[in-house]
Chains A and B, each alone.
Chain A
Amino acid sequence: MRTHTTKRLSVLTLLITFVLLTVSAATPSGSEIMWEVYNRDSGETMSANLIMTITNARGAVRERSIAQYRMDKDGVESKLMFFLSPSDVRNTSFLSFSYEDGRSDDQYIYLPAIKRVKRIASTSKNDSFMGSDFTYDDMGSRHPDLDVHKVLRKETIDGVSTLVVESIAKGDEDYPRTLSWIVDGQWFGLKKEFYLPDGTRGRTLTIDSYEEIDGIYVITDMTMRNLEGNTSTRIRMEDVEFNLDFNDNFFSERQMKIGPRR
């Protein structure tokens, strides 16, 4: 009974959306924009070095560099990461598989000090990414259907024309409202603000540089500031490469123990 109603409702929503889309064909709707962002080409395979700088409230800094490999294939996103520094955690590696069909992620960690691979509990999208100010959600791409989107205005940032999209979460979120500054036509964000349930700004994400590599826009320097905790994390990307050839066994426990490719 309930399923039936829901289905009918979605059909209705689709119809209305369709009507609205035809009406306002000139400026894309918020939802359209976010779908564009979601579907933007990010390459089937990629490798890069991440340099993560975490600054705590007292201004103390921890710097880590990580080699990261990614492959999207058959509805599975595989990621393999190796710590390059600091030296006492060198070669510690993470392997994760995210499934498009909604199955929860599989995650493994390899600790070289005990030479053992452990499966670790799947993380929630809101969990901190490697102890940084980024969440797993921030590092991947959030499904557009999770929010209701609305274009607020056009704004120019450093000469780049952007559309400011307001997204209100449908479910319960730490930051129920976000504002994204999306580059018109290129569909990547230049800035994002996260608002707390009480309406105050909780976090801000700024993009300090981006590059076009192999026709794909890559953000190479970004900083997330947590205004509540007064902490920040900067992530820089180096040596970005696309279209790599990973053999079938690359995203495996065995590779975790072997170490990074280079």
Chain B
Amino acid sequence: MHFFTSFAKRPFLLLFTVLILSLIFVLSIANNAVLETDLDEYMPKTHPAFMASDKAESLFGIKDAILIVVEHPEGIYNSGTIEKIDAITVALQEEFDAIESVTSLTTADNIKSDDGFLEVEPFYSGKTSQAAISQMQAEVEANPMIYGRNVSKDGTATLIIAELNNDIDADVLQTWVTQWEGPEKLMVAGRPVVEGALAELGPKDMAIMFPLVIITMIILLFLLLRSVRDTVLNMVIVLFGTLVSFGLMTLLNIPIYAVDTMIPVMLIAIGVAYGIHMHNTIHHFMRSYPDLSKEELATLSLKQMVRPIIMTAITTAIGFVALMSSQVLPVRYFGLFAAIGVLSEMLLALLLFPASIYLLGKPKYKKAKADFETQREKGTLSDTLQALLLHRPKMIVFISIAVLIIGVWGTSKVWIDTSFLANFEEDSTIAQTDQFVNSNFGGTSTLNIILNGDEPDLFKHPEVLLAMDSMQEDLEKDPIVGNTLSLATFIKQMNQVMLEHEDGSYSIPDSQELVSQYLLLYEFSGDPETLEQVVDYEYTSANITVQLKSDSSAVLKDILAVVDYYRPVFAEHAIEITYAGSGYKAFIFSELLLEGQIISLAISFAIIIILLALMFKNLRIGVVGTVPIAITAVVNFGVMGLLGIPLSSATALITSIAIGIGVDYAIHFLEHYTNERLGGSSLEQATRSTLRHTGRAIIFNAIAVMGGFAILMFSVFPPNRQVGALIVLNMATSALGTLTILVVLVHYLEKKHVFLPKRILDNNTRSFS
């Protein structure tokens, strides 16, 4: 308290300090800011699932791949298109260092029978005469390992698969591909493309939307506060908070991760509240005691607000700090720096408003008449509200319970899902290409099922191969599975060819010798490296590649359930099942993220209850104070469930933060109310005064934040729309919950004389902490 009053008395020193700090942070951001878009950097690399995946990826050469679709409406089987495919295949490998290998129709090998000969030869002979191409078409259509997988069944499109050993700039590739257009149409798909676009689009869109949010907020603040000065102060506070957060991040050489683009959004929503409450209190004193001196006004308003503002800042910061329990490094940084931003906003709000009084004199709130009218109107509004609350408490309780029941019912319908693709509009190029690939080929997403045994030659056992085959068959029953490929697939194809396509020959032979001899034969006549993608050198581990037509984590879970069913079967052969691939890692990652957020949500709830209880020296107040945010959480999840918005790491993040913000309303209400009561007001008087005074600030705050973030709902980027919508929803619920059910509950407890014990009511002095 002393710190704030004495510092606020030196406004020039304060301004100087803020300016110098801002300058340092701006310079640091300008010089050191590095945007980290590589999703791998988010992954907790020491997690067992990740380590198993990395090991298998290196053993079987599993790599992320970019898919280039070559489509010719009249069919790809013509010399021009085939030659073009060949040229692209060669050029990709030569021109991009990040591309490890390229597989296309002109490089793929065929296992075929030709008058009883076993041949493993490329489909493409290098000849493009009509006869050669027709033969190639016939061979493609006879081999299920490529037909419908790399070549569309109607013969109008094929895939060129570029495996990456490094990240590639998807934009550069998109542009590069256009030079090959005509008459063929070329499209680029695959996880690296989607991730790249996502990592770029999110921050880019936020950069466009953010100034719009700020402008809207400025307009709303000005309309609500009717003071240029206080609007400016508010914006200085929120921008300074953002600056501190990013400035420190860059000073410490921590890269800016995509999730950090949420920080400015959060800090604006939070910081505005501190300024509005300061404004509101100063405004209140000015109206009640117009004759106060500058110094008295500054000291009084500071004295009244220092406790609730520090408390609200701490509870919010705790919501963020709780994120540091996450296993995901960027989320931990996000929590830390957002908390730092919140605390600096709090400091600045407490300093800047009193300092402005010292520097610029008492604020002359303009349009005093209009303001008075508004005030009276608000007064009547709050009086009406009070009347409603006090006379119809049962109705409020009933409505609240009804909302809760609907919320819980909706929550039960919430489904957990993370999908990179869901972030794109259905008519966007990325979503459309993905759709095209999924309907014509195996699918854009890949899951690798890794079978680990320890006995050499284990995967030559017919029983093991049969189990693999039957699992693959079960997996393929799911329409979301495009196809599967494993050693069993190779063996079946070889058996069919060797038995000259006799009935039932597309199957696993029942002798290990035969399997071994087929494999030997394949090794001799084919490219032995192809086999190394499905089985290791000693035949102790195998890789089943499952192509999926969706990257949704919910879909992946269904697939994993089918695999789990086979665990005991493989366990009989001492084979363990693990998974690999970037799709699986992203799945584990989002599960971890979600789990972390739900844990941190629980942690912040518990800490908020304890803090409130300590602050008001009463556990019941602690519990009652969290009722509005509990309702907020239930409504949030309920609405998500009812509207079919999946719970993803992003939406869970917003929820946990909204709750940290929402509790502030309850703190302000309870603080003012208990102060009134301690000041000797009656129950009704205290309620009226609190609703008039704090209620106004809460509504102003909610309107400004909701208005600002409503702008995000017009974003072209769906995830940013969800962020906007959820913030608006949560702000509204928190404000409404605080001003209705919290008031009713406090009243009820007061009547039972359990809310503020006589002991506390007797003790009129309270220390500021």
Residues of A with Cβ closer than 8 Å to B? 56, 58, 60-62, 83, 86, 88-89, 92, 109, 111-114, 118-121, 123, 127-128, 130-131, 229
Known pairs A114-B498, A118-B498, A131-B524; A88 contacts B118 (CB<8 A): no
Q: Mark B599-621, 1 if CB is under 8 A from A, else 0.
A: 00000000000000000000000
Contact of A111 among B116, B514, B532, B538 (CB under 8 A): B514
**Cβ B513 vs Cβ A118 within 8 A:** no
Q: Which residues in A have their C-beta under 8 angstroms from that of B119?
A: 120-121
- Complex formed: what's the CA distance from A130 to B517 in Å? 12
**Cβ A113 vs Cβ B517 within 8 A:** yes
User: Smallest Cβ distance from A202 to chain B, in angstroms?
Assistant: 15
Contact of B532 among A56, A92, A109, A121 (CB under 8 A): A56
**Cβ B517 vs Cβ A120 within 8 A:** no
By beta carbon, the residue of chain B nearest A127 is B525
User: Smallest Cβ distance from B115 to chain A, in angstroms?
Assistant: 8
Contact of A114 among B59, B514, B538 (CB under 8 A): B514
Contact of B524 among A113, A130, A229 (CB under 8 A): A130
**Cβ B118 vs Cβ A121 within 8 A:** yes
- Complex formed: what's the CA distance from A59 to B532 in Å? 13
Q: Which residues in B have their C-beta under 8 angstroms from that of A119?
A: 116-117
User: Smallest Cβ distance from A137 to chain B, in angstroms?
Assistant: 15
Apart from A61-B537, A89-B516, A131-B528, what 12 extra A-B contacts exist at CB < 8 Å? Answer: A58-B537, A88-B513, A88-B517, A92-B520, A111-B517, A113-B514, A114-B498, A114-B517, A120-B117, A120-B521, A120-B525, A229-B529
Residue B191 CB within 8 A of the other chain: no
Residue B591 CB within 8 A of the other chain: no
User: Smallest Cβ distance from A69 to chain B, in angstroms?
Assistant: 18
By beta carbon, the residue of chain A nearest B120 is A121
Q: Which residues in B have their C-beta under 8 angstroms from that of A130?
A: 523-524
User: Smallest Cβ distance from A189 to chain B, in angstroms?
Assistant: 25
Q: Which residues in A have their C-beta under 8 angstroms from that of B536?
A: 60
**Cβ A111 vs Cβ B525 within 8 A:** no
**Cβ A113 vs Cβ B513 within 8 A:** yes
- Complex formed: what's the CA distance from A130 to B512 in Å? 20
- Complex formed: what's the CA distance from A61 to B456 in Å? 12
- Complex formed: what's the CA distance from A60 to B114 in Å? 34
Contact of A128 among B118, B498, B511, B528 (CB under 8 A): B528
Known pairs A60-B538, A119-B116, A121-B121; A112 contacts B513 (CB<8 A): yes
Known pairs A58-B59, A123-B525; A89 contacts B520 (CB<8 A): yes
| A-B pairs with beta carbons under 8 Å apart, 13 shown | A88-B457, A88-B512, A88-B516, A112-B513, A113-B516, A113-B517, A114-B498, A119-B116, A121-B114, A121-B117, A127-B525, A128-B528, A130-B523
**Cβ B517 vs Cβ A112 within 8 A:** yes
Q: Which residues in B have their C-beta under 8 angstroms from that of A58?
A: 59, 537
**Cβ A89 vs Cβ B114 within 8 A:** no
User: Smallest Cβ distance from A196 to chain B, in angstroms?
Assistant: 14
**Cβ A89 vs Cβ B117 within 8 A:** no
Q: Which residues in A have their C-beta under 8 angstroms from that of B516?
A: 86, 88-89, 113
Q: Which residues in A have their C-beta under 8 angstroms from that of B518?
A: 111
User: Smallest Cβ distance from B517 to chain A, in angstroms?
Assistant: 4
Q: Which residues in A have their C-beta under 8 angstroms from that of B538?
A: 60, 62
- Complex formed: what's the CA distance from A229 to B529 in Å? 10
By beta carbon, the residue of chain B nearest A123 is B525
By beta carbon, the residue of chain A nearest B531 is A131
Q: Which residues in B have their C-beta under 8 angstroms from that of A60?
A: 536-538
**Cβ A113 vs Cβ B511 within 8 A:** yes
Residue B9 CB within 8 A of the other chain: no
User: Smallest Cβ distance from B683 to chain A, in angstroms?
Assistant: 78
**Cβ A118 vs Cβ B457 within 8 A:** no
- Complex formed: what's the CA distance from A83 to B528 in Å? 18
Q: Which residues in B have their C-beta under 8 angstroms from that of A131?
A: 520, 523-524, 528
Q: Which residues in B have their C-beta under 8 angstroms from that of A111?
A: 498, 514, 517-518, 521
Q: Which residues in B have their C-beta under 8 angstroms from that of A62?
A: 537-538
Q: Which residues in A have their C-beta under 8 angstroms from that of B549?
A: none
- Complex formed: what's the CA distance from A229 to B523 in Å? 16
- Complex formed: what's the CA distance from A111 to B511 in Å? 12
- Complex formed: what's the CA distance from A83 to B521 in Å? 12
Q: Which residues in A have their C-beta under 8 angstroms from that of B688?
A: none
Q: Mark B519-547, 1 if CB is under 8 A from A, else 0.
A: 01101110011001000111000000000
Residue B362 CB within 8 A of the other chain: no
Residue B460 CB within 8 A of the other chain: yes
- Complex formed: what's the CA distance from A58 to B58 in Å? 10
By beta carbon, the residue of chain B nearest A131 is B523
**Cβ B118 vs Cβ A120 within 8 A:** yes
- Complex formed: what's the CA distance from A118 to B538 in Å? 27
- Complex formed: what's the CA distance from A120 to B523 in Å? 13
**Cβ A89 vs Cβ B523 within 8 A:** no
**Cβ B524 vs Cβ A88 within 8 A:** no
Q: Which residues in B have their C-beta under 8 angstroms from that of A113?
A: 509, 511, 513-514, 516-517
Q: Which residues in B have their C-beta under 8 angstroms from that of A83?
A: 520
Known pairs A58-B59, A120-B117; A89 contacts B517 (CB<8 A): yes
Contact of A88 among B59, B114, B121, B460 (CB under 8 A): B460
Q: Which residues in A have their C-beta under 8 angstroms from that of B514?
A: 111, 113-114
Known pairs A92-B520, A112-B513, A130-B524; A118 contacts B532 (CB<8 A): no
- Complex formed: what's the CA distance from A180 to B520 in Å? 31
User: Smallest Cβ distance from B60 to chain A, in angstroms?
Assistant: 11
Q: Which of A113, A118, A119, A127 has the largest number of chain B CB atoms within 10 A?
A: A113
User: Smallest Cβ distance from B341 to chain A, in angstroms?
Assistant: 48
- Complex formed: what's the CA distance from A109 to B524 in Å? 11
Contact of B513 among A89, A109, A229 (CB under 8 A): A89
By beta carbon, the residue of chain A nearest B499 is A114
- Complex formed: what's the CA distance from A132 to B47 in Å? 38
User: Smallest Cβ distance from A135 to chain B, in angstroms?
Assistant: 12
User: Smallest Cβ distance from A3 to chain B, in angstroms?
Assistant: 25
Q: Which residues in B have their C-beta under 8 angstroms from that of A121?
A: 114, 117-119, 121, 525
- Complex formed: what's the CA distance from A25 to B23 in Å? 85
Q: Mark B570-607, 1 if CB is under 8 A from A, else 0.
A: 00000000000000000000000000000000000000
Q: Which residues in A have their C-beta under 8 angstroms from that of B511?
A: 113
By beta carbon, the residue of chain A nearest B516 is A88
Q: Which of A83, A121, A127, A130 has the largest number of chain B CB atoms within 10 A?
A: A121
User: Smallest Cβ distance from B540 to chain A, in angstroms?
Assistant: 9
The 9 closest A-B pairs by CB, nearest first: A131-B523, A113-B514, A60-B537, A88-B516, A113-B513, A111-B517, A121-B119, A131-B528, A121-B117
- Complex formed: what's the CA distance from A112 to B518 in Å? 11
- Complex formed: what's the CA distance from A150 to B356 in Å? 92
Known pairs A58-B537, A60-B538, A121-B119; A92 contacts B517 (CB<8 A): yes
- Complex formed: what's the CA distance from A114 to B517 in Å? 10
Q: Which residues in B have their C-beta under 8 angstroms from that of A109?
A: 118, 521
User: Smallest Cβ distance from B764 to chain A, in angstroms?
Assistant: 78
- Complex formed: what's the CA distance from A131 to B525 in Å? 8
**Cβ A56 vs Cβ B537 within 8 A:** yes
User: Smallest Cβ distance from B102 to chain A, in angstroms?
Assistant: 16
Q: Which residues in A have their C-beta under 8 angstroms from that of B521?
A: 109, 111, 120
**Cβ B512 vs Cβ A118 within 8 A:** no
Q: Which of B118, B457, B520 has the largest number of chain A CB atoms within 10 A?
A: B520
- Complex formed: what's the CA distance from A112 to B525 in Å? 18
By beta carbon, the residue of chain A nearest B112 is A121
Q: Enumerate B633-665 residues with CB–CB distance to A below 8 Å.
A: none
**Cβ A118 vs Cβ B517 within 8 A:** no
Q: Which residues in A have their C-beta under 8 angstroms from that of B457?
A: 86, 88
User: Smallest Cβ distance from A24 to chain B, in angstroms?
Assistant: 41
Q: Enumerate B114-139 residues with CB–CB distance to A below 8 Å.
A: 114, 116-119, 121
Q: Mark B88-124, 1 if CB is under 8 A from A, else 0.
A: 0000000000000000000000000010111101000
By beta carbon, the residue of chain B nearest A130 is B524
User: Smallest Cβ distance from B165 to chain A, in angstroms?
Assistant: 14
Q: Which residues in A have their C-beta under 8 angstroms from that of B512?
A: 88
- Complex formed: what's the CA distance from A88 to B523 in Å? 15
**Cβ A118 vs Cβ B525 within 8 A:** no
